[in-house]
Amino acid sequence: MAKTKNKKKNLADSASLKKNRESKKKSTNPFEVHINKDKQKILGRKSKDDRGLPGVARSKAINKRKRTLLHEFTQKNKDNVFMDKRIGECNVTMSQEEKAMARYAAEKIKAHRKKNIFSLNDEEILTHRGQTLEEIEKFDDPKSEDEFSDDDNYKDGQLGKKFVSDAHFGGGLLSKSNEQSSGKQLIQDLIAESKKRKAEQQNIRDQTIELTKKLDSEWRDLAPLMASTIPKIDKSIEKPKADDYDIAVRQLQFERCGKPSDRLKSEEDIMKEEKEKLEALELDRLTRMKGFTNDSDERSKHKSADDLDDGFVVEKIDEEPLAYDENGMVMESGNNSEPTDSINKDDNSIDENDSDKLNNINDDKSESENEEDSEAEESGEDDGEEDDLDDLKVSEASSDEEEQEQILNDKNSINSPTAVEQPNESTRLSMSDKESNDNAMNNESRIKDIREDLQKRKEIMEKARQELPYTFSAPTNFDELETLLMDKNAEYQSIILERIIKCNHWSLNETNRDSMCKLFDYLLQYIVKCCTGVTEEEDIIKCFLIIDRLCPHLYDLGQVNASNTATCVQNLLKEKHENFKKNPKKYPGLDTLILFKIVSLLFPTSDFRHPVVTPCLVFMSQILLRCRVKTKTDISRGLFIVTLMLEYTVLSKRFLPSSINFLRGIIYLATIKPLPSLPKIVPPFKRVGNFSNLLILEESQKSLNIELVGAHMKAHDLSSNDIDENFKVRVVLTAINLLDEFKCQLEELEAVYSIFEPILKLLKMNSWKNYPKNVRNHVKQIRNNLEILSEKKLEYLIPEKKKPKALRLYEPRIEKVYDGKRFKPMSKQKQEREKLMAKIKKETKGAIREVRRDTAFLAKVQIKQQIRNDEERKRKVKEIYGDAAMQQGELNKIKRKK
């Protein structure tokens, strides 16, 4: 027998060997240990890197590269790489329990998605808008009338138990019924049962209605008795007021939830709707101008199949319907039966005459309508001509006269003895006269109706001609715009412009933007042209009304293209300034003043420098400083410009010397001479001369009643040159009010008292004895306000004190440790930067070293692979050569045998 090995002995030997290996310590070669020297030794600090094992570190690095770099190198060009997608397998931080829990959760989710996606037996409560489906569920059970029944067999609209058992499950071997009912019989029974239930339900409804009516009637009788027993509410008892907390709670409780609504309309949508509305109104106007009326009463109404005839007036039928007897003959009605046949003949003849007359009238009416239509079309081409309308009136009057003559002739023919046969004159003559009178009255009423209809049509057509068109195309030149607006009042001009802008709005089509820019230029020229050469008071008032109505549209057009607006106004200002240079001593016309006003409406006047407003201010200052004040119009236009300059500077509070100087000159013209000391007067005013006393009152005006606040200048002040006493008082009061406004505007300036000091002296020199008492008090109050300005403390201009210049300080050159080396003195920031650069250099070297080692490692791997491949190739070649030699030897041996 073979000897069995002693397993226990082998185990004991292996354990002892293992113990001996652990007990023995590895002896390191001292030549393989590398000692790292520290530059600076610190006592008591143990360094971990004082010694190093280059061989061990190298082997660790090689093993690490084998696990990482070599693995990546081998899998570099492979597509069928095995990826370990087990949950948590590549995550080192996860423990085995965490991996198992994560995998279990993933399996549960996968199973839920597959199986339980449509399961409703979960604990999750379904909601809609914050409410559960149970709360908002409506227990509606829509059923037909035949499904309602109080019978238990048909409860909830279901089929009866007996019917189901017989119809669905009957006819078997165990069926107790002996009768064999067919399907047709079952259906008939079902229909009969349904009719029976309907009849019962109808009876119940009728009984309920009757009981309800009875209860209502009894309640009406009891209501007056119950009214006296109702306790009256004592209104004197005040309810307790809710505090802030209760109000806040209720607001939160009943807060409205936001719901989606229609989107806001854009500017393009609004303009599109406006254009469509105007086009519909224009179509309606053209229709009415042609004589067609769209009366809602005469319009035919359509009746649908399910119409209930609500909204329709039932017409009364005066005539009796046509009836037939048993033999098929027409039965005569009581109204149509007459004792003799001759009267029927007379009636027939009269009816024939009436029909002829009506045909003539209708023919005349159609002819007049055709004439109206043709004339309406001609008037649509040329609205300014009124000759067609006069012809229409003449033709209508002539047609009315012809109709009257024709109807009178018809009346005479009806009354003539030849018109009616006379078999029995005593009985039929009276009846014929009576019928003829009735017919004549009917004809007169018809003529009257026709005249009223023609008159109504004429009024509608004339009104439509006077109405403005609702749609306009954009004017292509100035003359076209002028023809549209000329000879129309300001209100109509505003309406025309509004409709032009709406029909050609730039949001509807981008090409309309250029046409609207041109319209702005044409409209500005039109406004200036309206104000050019105006001398009459009525024309001036009309001019201001036109400006008031058209300036809003001018502003809207100016917003289309700001650069084009500025260019147009600048060109017009240049043109007016060139005209002013030709005669600089004469005030410009009203058109230039209106242009200044338009500039303040179109552009911001508070900018420090503006390409349009700044030249405009310079232009106005030149007018006030150069133009001579000789007439009433000069004074009025000068005050108008000063008011505009006050409006220009109301926000910027800029000081304009020309306006203050003009007001100073106005006060001087109203001051009585000679003066004890002649004040200094700045041109265009002069100390002495014929025009230095223009505003001195020659007569006392103490009894004059004039308001202190408000506008005092009038339209005729810009046109007439006759200076009266009333004008002088109004000019002085206006100048005083403007002075007060400028004083309030310039109060923040340091030199405000110096600005108004010359004017204050003039106010003190004049006694103002001929002026009304309220004007004298007002002047005194303004004078006191100006005197208060002298008490204002002046802060003189002082050059700013210069701060002492600090000495330039240097950082001390301190070397903390001296080790025989010299370092360059550097700032703290530079030291930090040098440290960072040193770290970058060190890390860069380390990275380059690692890259080189990785490259060397990969090169060794490639060389080993190449050597292995070459050895394998040599082995295979030797094997092939050996096989070939053996085969050749066998072949030679066969040849030798032959």
Give the per-residue pLDDT at 463: 60
Q: Which long-range contacts (CB under 8 A, 24 or more apart) does 371-376 make?
A: 371/395, 372/290, 372/291, 372/457, 372/458, 372/461, 373/290, 373/291, 376/289, 376/290, 376/291, 376/461, 376/465
385-408 residue pLDDT tens: 333 333 333 334 444 444 444 444
Q: Tell me how far apart the alpha carbons of residues 461 and 449 are, in angstroms, rounded to a whole number.
A: 18
Tell me the helix, strand and coil percentages in the chain, rounded to 5. Answer: 60, 0, 40
162-184 residue pLDDT tens: 666 666 655 554 555 544 557 78
- Asked if residues 691 and 666 have their Cβ atoms less than 8 Å apart, the reply is no
Q: Tell me how far apart the alpha carbons of residues 829 and 835 are, in angstroms, rounded to a whole number.
A: 10
Look-up of token digits 């808008």: 129
Q: Tell me how far apart the alpha carbons of residues 428 and 421 are, in angstroms, rounded to a whole number.
A: 9
Q: What are the C-alpha distances in Å from 499 to residues 283, 492, 494?
A: 15, 11, 9
Look at 6 and 665; give whichever has higher pLDDT.
665
Give the per-residue pLDDT at 149: 46
pLDDT at 270 over 70: yes
Mean residue pLDDT across the chain: 75
Look at 861 and 433; give whichever has higher pLDDT.
861
Structure tokens at 334: 């009581």
CB-CB neighbours of 706 under 10 Å? 15
Confidence of residue 263 (pLDDT cuts 50, 70, 90): low
pLDDT at 367 over 70: no
pLDDT at 860 over 90: yes
Confidence of residue 328 (pLDDT cuts 50, 70, 90): low
Q: What are the C-alpha distances in Å from 282 to residues 296, 307, 764?
A: 19, 34, 67
Confidence of residue 859 (pLDDT cuts 50, 70, 90): very high
**Residue 392 burial by Cβ neighbours in a 10 Å radius (0-12, 13-18, 19+):** buried
Residue 814, φ and ψ in degrees, nearest 5: -120, 125
Cα 223–chain centre separation: 56
Look-up of token digits 């393989």: 32
pLDDT at 831 over 50: yes
- Asked if residues 501 and 275 have their Cβ atoms less than 8 Å apart, the reply is no
- Position 446, amino acid: R
pLDDT at 754 over 70: yes
pLDDT over 90, % of the chain? 25
Confidence of residue 366 (pLDDT cuts 50, 70, 90): very low
Q: Tell me how far apart the alpha carbons of residues 8 and 12 are, in angstroms, rounded to a whole number.
A: 6
- What is the secondary structure of 429-463 as a DSSP string? HHHHHHHHHHHHHHHHHHHHHHHHHHHHHHHHHHH
Q: Tell me how far apart the alpha carbons of residues 372 and 396 are, in angstroms, rounded to a whole number.
A: 9
Give the lowest-confidence range in 88-97, 114-123, 789-798, 823-832. Answer: 114-123
Residues facing residue 35 across a β-bridge: 51
Cα 838–chain centre separation: 63
Q: Tell me how far apart the alpha carbons of residues 670 and 465 are, in angstroms, rounded to a whole number.
A: 56
Which residues lie closer than 8 Å to 744 by C-beta, 6 or more apart? none
Give the per-residue pLDDT at 833: 94
Give the per-residue pLDDT at 665: 92
Confidence of residue 618 (pLDDT cuts 50, 70, 90): very high
Give the per-residue pLDDT at 888: 95
Residue 766 DSSP one-character state: -
Structure tokens at 83: 């990826």
Give the per-residue pLDDT at 363: 46
Give the lowest-confidence range in 107-116, 351-360, 599-608, 777-786. Answer: 351-360
Query: Could you tell me which of 501, 503, 620, 617 has the C-alpha nearest to residue 559?
Result: 501
Look at 338 and 265; give whichever has higher pLDDT.
265
Look at 355 and 747; give whichever has higher pLDDT.
747
Kind of pairing, strands 127-128 and 34-35? unpaired
Give the lowest-confidence range in 64-68, 121-125, 382-386, 399-403. Answer: 382-386
Q: Which residues of 816-836 are buried (b: 16+ CB within 10 A; e: fewer)?
A: eeeeeeeeeeeeeeeeeeeee
Structure tokens at 186: 């079952």
Residue 35, φ and ψ in degrees, nearest 5: -100, 125
Q: Strand, coil or helix: what is 128? A: strand
Query: Could you tell me which of 549, 419, 560 has the C-alpha nearest to residue 496?
Result: 549
Structure tokens at 847: 């990275």
Q: Tell me how far apart the alpha carbons of residues 32 and 626 are, in angstroms, rounded to a whole number.
A: 109
Confidence of residue 158 (pLDDT cuts 50, 70, 90): low
